[in-house]
A and B are shown apart, each in its own frame.
Chain A
Amino acid sequence: MSKKNIIVVGGGLSGLMATIKICEAGGEVKLFSYCPVKRSHSLCAQGGINACMNTKGQNDTTWEHFDDTVYGGDFLADQTAVKGMCEAAPKLIKMFDRMGVPFTRTAEGVLDLRNFGGQKNKRTVFAGSTTGQQLLYALDEQVRKWEVKGNVKKYEFWEFIRIIKNDNGICRGIVAQNMNSMEIEAFRADAVILATGGPGVIFGRCTASTICNGSAVSAVYQQGAEIGNSEFIQIHPTAIPGSDKNRLMSEACRGEGGRVWTYKDGKPWYFLEEMYPAYGNLVPRDIASRAIYDVCVNQKLGINGENRVYLDLSHIPAEYLERKLGGILEMYSEFVGDDPRKVPMQIYPSVHYSMGGIWVDTKHNTNIPALLASGECDYQYHGANRLGANSLLSAAYSGTISGPEAIRWSESDDIGEELTDEQLAAAKQTCVDEFENIINMNGKENAHELHHELGDLMNRYCTIVRVNKELDLCMDELKKILVRWNDIGVNDKGHWANQEAMFVRQLHNMIIYAMVICKAARMRDESRGAHYKPEFPNRDDEHFLKTTIASYNAETHEPNITYREYDHSLIKPRPRRYDVAKGGK
């Protein structure tokens, strides 16, 4: 039998973890990424990674972590999967510790833990304010070791275009494009793992990296993979709006006494304090987001009519701020140019994370045989809303599942015949033709302008507050944008590092994915987790305690939405309320 040959697409935390697991099982990995893997988006995670270490005398248990995650996700997460993740978490932390992650330590040299939103025990392991960066680097280093040993071949600056199935419909290869030479190549594999991250860039400006465009997910969706729970998009209430991206402003600012306000009738209006006298500025993320949205969009009271309000720390002594929030405030100064110790910061809610993604089973298999998905690009673990500091955990953990599962595929007889030369050539030719067509587009539209419009549209209708009538409108607009895509004019006709042409291809995938988010949001007539509809303000377990499944309709380019049962047998759903202490179980 031939060597176990796995393709991993994406070199973030999940892809690298899977790669390591595959190498350890004797497999060989072709690792595709469209940036050096060390620059993947996982490094933007700041706060930490949750794991029940129980070193703070709080009798923390993995069950408690499991319960917090399920409760935080408004009971929409597959409980078998979540339970597995929470139980594995402490072992993963020990592994990272051995790999040399410079975690923040207590005076006696053991890993320190911090509090994080939605959890009452200290359970978040952290490395200063750059936990994601440090975890990613540790795995990057381990993968480099495997690269030296010859088990990993990296294809950095290669963009994934599509998967290739054999005659039995089993995924046995991919087509990818070298982003410098523009050469398009087809590759064989025993199994393919997609670990390509979230789709934030569909919303234009968000807290994600510019590379998180969901294009790969959309590509496999168009080839038959199902997308689950795509309507669940997490919004962070306090981000610094920017024309290039929105940068996260930590929740700690409100925690340390920051006040949110805007001008009303020429005077400062502390609307959170007025609307929610009990909690004031410390209301949970979703409530804060909705209030800011209401003030700016419905009441049109944003600063200078723009969508932003003040987050004010200037009344707090500078010395106290320096001690508590030093690094964060420096970040604001660096990117905005104002000193938040003196001038109120300007913030607005921003798209932050996608709970939904490619539907997978608990072993991270998609509905296409031998195609696996892990990390933010899959839909697992977070249900309707993600708990802070669970994203790094789910990314790393999913890699420990998808890697060995890919090995299992490679050893099984179920994967059928490997791709013939003809099949490879045909798949390659499809992509070459498609790319040449893009290069030859001579229409009137600018792809980046069109993307800007897509982002505006999605931000307006598919984020904090969703209204069915508006979602219908949004869908119509998306269809128009899809048509206008055909009228794009490509300025760069070259065949060397042509970023514009690649972006045009990505944009098509983004529009298709946007339709999935929009339609799924339209169909879910309830409010749950991050998905809020004023017309249906309550959770409706009777009808919607189900996973949303979107599958592609090639005729209309629209998704077909169905609902699928999942495992919620371990913890019975109970109302999710953060205005009182967490309900008993």
Chain B
Amino acid sequence: MSEQKTVHFIIERQDGPDSKPYTEEFLVPYRPALNVVAALMEIQKKPVTKDGKKTTPVVWECNCLEKVCGACMMVINGKARQACATLVDQIPQPIRLAPARTFPVIRDLQIDRSVMFESLKRIRGWIDVDGSWEVNTAPIQNPYTAATAYEIAHCMTCGCCLEACPNVGPQSDFIGPAPTVQAYLFNLNPLGSFNKDKRLNALMEKGGITSCGNSQNCVQVCPKNIKLTTYLAQLNRDVNKQALKNIFNK
């Protein structure tokens, strides 16, 4: 029998938030349609490095494996993407995995993205309904506007855009493209638009939309193909108008 084909992984590991990173290499048996998560699962079953040294299984986060939950974002061969939707056949080997260091590392490839959820609080990322009880029927919506909203609502808070954005990181307080653009989603909604001013004012604060430097990496790496730069430009228009309102309407 011919020798088993393998896939070579070089994984940047880190035992804890304050530990020093180190790399370990693994050989994983090749299979057609093998993706990065499936390969990490193989390492769980046999946590032995390329040199035959026993080690601990690699820690990472994943849930749905269908590219909707956003959990398994990591840096693969230098770029932020979803590990579950990355087939080993489609990228050059050896495959280098690293945590998205824009965020604090918890362990190995697992990172702490809670800052993104905090940012969603800051932009008031919800519709202010009176309650879940029966009220009126919601207003009808222009189906084209609704389609735009649907596109933005695909954002799964994976953090690819934050990882790729040069203006997001420990050196800056920018909340990043994803939470910023979510503000537009709620402003588009007929009921959500009642709080449009509040959201725009929140975006005008430090770390808000003014921190966007238009590197436009976000739109390139978004796994959901959300036209982030288009909506950022729209929001820029909106905050400029809001600034005039703040000055002249009071």
| A interface residues with partner B (beta carbon < 8 Å) | 17, 20-21, 24, 35-36, 38-41, 43-44, 91, 94-95, 97-100, 102-110, 127-128, 130, 133-134, 137-138, 141-142, 144-145, 147-148, 156, 180, 209-211, 242-245, 247, 331, 334-337, 400, 446, 448-449, 452, 491-492, 494, 496-497, 499-500
Q: Which of B80-121 contact A (CB under 8 A)?
A: 84-85, 87, 89-90, 106-107, 110, 113-114, 117, 120-121
The reply to whether B110 and A209 contact each other, CB–CB distance below 8 Å, is no
Min CB gap B188→A, angstroms: 9
Cβ-based interface call for B45 (8 A): yes
Chain A residues whose CB sits within 8 angstroms of the CB of B41 once the complex forms: 243-244, 448
Across the two chains, which residue of chain A brings its CB closest to B129? Answer: A98
Q: A35-B61, A94-B135 are in contact. List 7 more A-B contacts (CB 8 A).
A: A95-B134, A97-B138, A109-B141, A141-B120, A244-B65, A497-B59, A497-B106
| B interface residues with partner A (beta carbon < 8 Å) | 15-16, 31-35, 37-38, 41-42, 44-47, 54-57, 59, 61-71, 84-85, 87, 89-90, 106-107, 110, 113-114, 117, 120-121, 125-129, 131-138, 140-143, 146, 149-150, 153-154, 156-157, 185-186, 189, 191-192
Residue picked from B46, B64, B90, B143, most chain A C-beta under 10 Å? B64
Min CB gap B91→A, angstroms: 12
Min CB gap A163→B, angstroms: 24
29 contacts between A and B (CB under 8 A): A24-B132, A36-B114, A40-B63, A43-B69, A44-B69, A94-B134, A98-B138, A100-B127, A100-B192, A102-B150, A104-B146, A105-B143, A106-B143, A109-B146, A127-B150, A130-B68, A133-B68, A134-B150, A141-B120, A144-B121, A156-B114, A210-B63, A244-B41, A247-B65, A247-B66, A334-B67, A400-B132, A494-B56, A500-B44
Chain A residues whose CB sits within 8 angstroms of the CB of B154 once the complex forms: 130, 133
Chain A residues whose CB sits within 8 angstroms of the CB of B37 once the complex forms: 244
Q: Which 5 A-B pairs have the closest CB atoms?
A: A109-B140, A141-B126, A97-B138, A244-B38, A497-B107
- Within the assembled complex, what's the spacing in Å between the Cα atoms of A98 and B131? 10
Chain B residues whose CB sits within 8 angstroms of the CB of A108 once the complex forms: 140
The reply to whether B140 and A242 contact each other, CB–CB distance below 8 Å, is no
* B interface secondary structure, majority: loop
The reply to whether A500 and B56 contact each other, CB–CB distance below 8 Å, is yes
- Within the assembled complex, what's the spacing in Å between the Cα atoms of A144 and B120? 8
Min CB gap B75→A, angstroms: 18
- Within the assembled complex, what's the spacing in Å between the Cα atoms of A20 and B127? 14
From B38, B84, B90, B134, give the contact of A91 (CB < 8 A). Answer: B134
The reply to whether B153 and A134 contact each other, CB–CB distance below 8 Å, is yes
The reply to whether A337 and B45 contact each other, CB–CB distance below 8 Å, is no
From B33, B120, B185, give the contact of A336 (CB < 8 A). Answer: B33
Q: A36-B113, A496-B16 known; A491 and B141 CB under 8 Å?
A: no
Q: A107-B143, A337-B89 known; A242 and B38 CB under 8 Å?
A: yes
The reply to whether B143 and A109 contact each other, CB–CB distance below 8 Å, is yes
The reply to whether B33 and A337 contact each other, CB–CB distance below 8 Å, is yes
